[in-house]
């Protein structure tokens, strides 16, 4: 039975403990995020959908400004120290929003809701980016391909648990108290980050060697400049390819996001009703993600490699947009969004994160921060503006489909190239006698 479970989840000897800790770590992060996300979306719609497009621009600007600050932390502090500082800052920010809601409710209005929208959008990207950067640093390239999909299950469970917990605590504790609960999960995430770095993945002599390597790695600061991540992205075709993939993905996801906002706004005019409807969509989407992660993700990556795993989302999204353009119903939108999120979080995200263990340590934190935050938000801005322009000239869903389909073709080809580039890099790092990752058999 143990051998069958190990084969099903691609686990090898001694990997269970770090995988469980990483999954619990991700569970805490996604619980905190998803407790607050429906309220963020509902607040953003308070002044109309066009205001959300401007909020996207503000978020991209703030994200770009924060990147050198994070790069400075990475250069000057030890790994666990800058990770802890990042999570502690966001936890304190949540406590600040709580104090504003409790002690100065008269100051809370549309403007403060917009501030929370921008802050949450930055918070959302940085806390997940730091998590995946640590995993790329903690696990090898082979482990990333095999284990990241399993670790992502913890995040999906948190994304399901977060809205459920919010619905149970909102009435007895009050909505402001949910911010403190979310902050508590971030503090727990700091503890789990320390455990993840120090937990051993094997026993005996290999464990001692691993412990010595981790201690030396933790004592050594990454160094470099605060802007090194930006320069690294533009200097590396591989990192530029990842940035292009993320840009295309977020542009298309933003098309879906604004289409959803418009349909929800047409269906519900009350703030509470909108929040409930958005929360229901999130919950059922996460259930679909969990089913995919537990059944297909690991098998697809193992059998077909990262290239195919990265190409699935563009193809599925293009087909979904064609269906939405034909039918144009809210039910079809839910199907498209659920499919897009399920494939993106259940398959594409673990595959995309598995691209990073083969880059340098500085690139794992600084270049990845630039890609996962600013490039991601830049895609939001481009998608929002294109969607708005198409709406103003009356093209709407049909126009979106004509943009998405050719973009998806280029996006899929880029995913295939990244998968092959990763194989080459991994083989180069492993040495001349190593088998390519795609040729490696299932876990024993």
Q: Which of 83-92, 115-124, 333-342 has the highest mean pLDDT?
A: 83-92
CB 149 within 8 A of CB 299: no
State the pLDDT at residue 426: 87
Asked whether the predicted pLDDT for residue 3 surpasses 80, the reply is no
CB 175 within 8 A of CB 323: no
373 occurs within a structural domain: yes
Asked whether the predicted pLDDT for residue 281 surpasses 90, the reply is no
Domain carrying residue 308: 2-439
Backbone angles phi, psi at 393, to 5 degrees: -95, 5
pLDDT bin (cut points 50, 70, 90) of residue 442 is very low
The per-residue pLDDT for range 374-396, each reduced to its tens digit, is 999 899 889 888 877 777 666 66
State the pLDDT at residue 440: 41
444 occurs within a structural domain: no
* Average pLDDT of the residues in 41-51: 58
Asked whether the predicted pLDDT for residue 397 surpasses 70, the reply is no
160 occurs within a structural domain: yes
CB 264 within 8 A of CB 420: no
Integer Rg of the chain from CA: 21
52 occurs within a structural domain: yes
Share of the chain above pLDDT 70, in %: 75
Q: Which of 171-175, 348-352, 413-417 has the highest mean pLDDT?
A: 413-417
- Which residues, including other chains, have CB under 8 Å from residue 307's CB and lie 6 or more apart? 415, 416, 417, 418, 419, 420, 423
Asked whether the predicted pLDDT for residue 268 surpasses 60, the reply is no
CA distances, 420 to each of 343, 361, 372 (Å): 20, 21, 21
CB 56 within 8 A of CB 40: no
Helical packing angle, 79-103 and 110-138, nearest 10°: 160
420 occurs within a structural domain: yes
pLDDT bin (cut points 50, 70, 90) of residue 277 is low
Query: What predicted TM-score, i.e. pTM, was given to this entire model?
Result: 0.82
The per-residue pLDDT for range 135-193, each reduced to its tens digit, is 999 998 888 888 888 898 899 899 889 888 888 887 788 778 888 999 999 999 999 99
CATH number, position 222: 1.20.1250.20
* Average pLDDT of the residues in 128-141: 92
Rounded Cα distance between 224 and 237, Å, is: 21
* Selected residue with higher pLDDT from 38 and 78: 78
Helical packing angle, 16-44 and 49-76, nearest 10°: 140
224 occurs within a structural domain: yes
The per-residue pLDDT for range 298-344, each reduced to its tens digit, is 678 778 889 999 999 999 999 888 888 787 676 777 778 778 887 88
- Tally of domains within the chain: 1
Q: Which of 223-232, 385-394, 424-433 has the highest mean pLDDT?
A: 223-232
37 occurs within a structural domain: yes
pLDDT bin (cut points 50, 70, 90) of residue 234 is very high
User: Token pair of 440, please?
Assistant: 């490696």
CA 190 from centroid of its chain's CA atoms: 18
The per-residue pLDDT for range 8-24, each reduced to its tens digit, is 567 777 788 899 999 99
State the pLDDT at residue 42: 58
State the pLDDT at residue 443: 37
């Amino acid at each position: 039975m143990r051998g069958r479970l190990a084969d099903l989840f691609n686990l090898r000897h001694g990997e269970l403990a770090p995988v469980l800790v990483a999954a619990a770590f991700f569970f805490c992060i996604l619980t905190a995020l998803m407790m607050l996300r429906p309220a963020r979306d509902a607040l953003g719609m308070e002044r109309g959908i066009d205001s959300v497009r401007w909020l996207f621009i503000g978020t991209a600007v703030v994200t770009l400004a924060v990147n050198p600050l994070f790069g400075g932390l990475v250069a000057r502090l030890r790994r666990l120290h800058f990770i802890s500082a990042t999570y502690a800052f966001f936890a304190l920010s949540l406590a600040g929003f709580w104090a504003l809601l409790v002690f100065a409710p008269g100051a809370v209005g549309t403007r403060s809701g917009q501030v929370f929208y921008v802050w949450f959008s930055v918070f959302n990207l940085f806390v997940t980016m730091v998590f995946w950067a640590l995993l790329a640093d903690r696990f090898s390239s082979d482990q990333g391909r095999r284990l990241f999909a399993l670790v992502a299950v913890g995040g999906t469970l948190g994304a399901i648990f977060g809205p459920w917990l919010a619905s149970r605590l909102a009435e007895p504790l009050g909505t402001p108290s949910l911010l403190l609960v979310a902050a508590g999960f971030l503090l727990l995430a700091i503890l789990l980050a320390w455990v993840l770095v120090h937990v051993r993945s094997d026993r005996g002599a290999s464990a001692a060697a691993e412990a010595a390597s981790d201690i030396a790695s933790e004592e050594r600061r990454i160094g470099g400049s605060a802007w090194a991540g930006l320069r690294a992205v533009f200097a590396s075709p591989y990192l530029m390819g990842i940035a292009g993939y993320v840009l295309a993905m977020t542009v298309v996801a933003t098309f879906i996001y604004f289409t959803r906002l418009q349909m929800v706004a047409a269906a519900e005019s009350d703030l509470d009703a909108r929040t409930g409807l958005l929360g229901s969509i999130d919950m059922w989407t996460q259930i679909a993600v969990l089913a995919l992660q537990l059944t297909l993700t690991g098998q697809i990556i193992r059998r077909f490699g990262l290239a195919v795993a990265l190409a699935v989302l563009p193809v599925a999204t293009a087909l979904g947009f064609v269906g939405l353009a034909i039918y144009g119903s809210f039910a079809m939108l839910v199907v498209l969004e659920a499919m897009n999120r399920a494939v993106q979080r259940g398959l594409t995200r673990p595959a995309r994160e598995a691209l990073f263990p083969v880059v340098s340590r500085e690139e794992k934190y600084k270049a990845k921060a630039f890609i996962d935050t600013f490039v991601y938000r830049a895609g939001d801005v481009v998608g929002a503006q294109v969607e708005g322009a198409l709406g103003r000239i009356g093209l709407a869903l049909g126009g979106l489909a004509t943009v998405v389909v050719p973009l998806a073709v280029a996006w899929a080809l880029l995913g295939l190239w990244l998968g092959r580039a990763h194989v080459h890099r991994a083989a180069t790092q492993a040495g001349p006698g190593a088998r390519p990752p795609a040729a490696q058999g299932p876990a024993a």
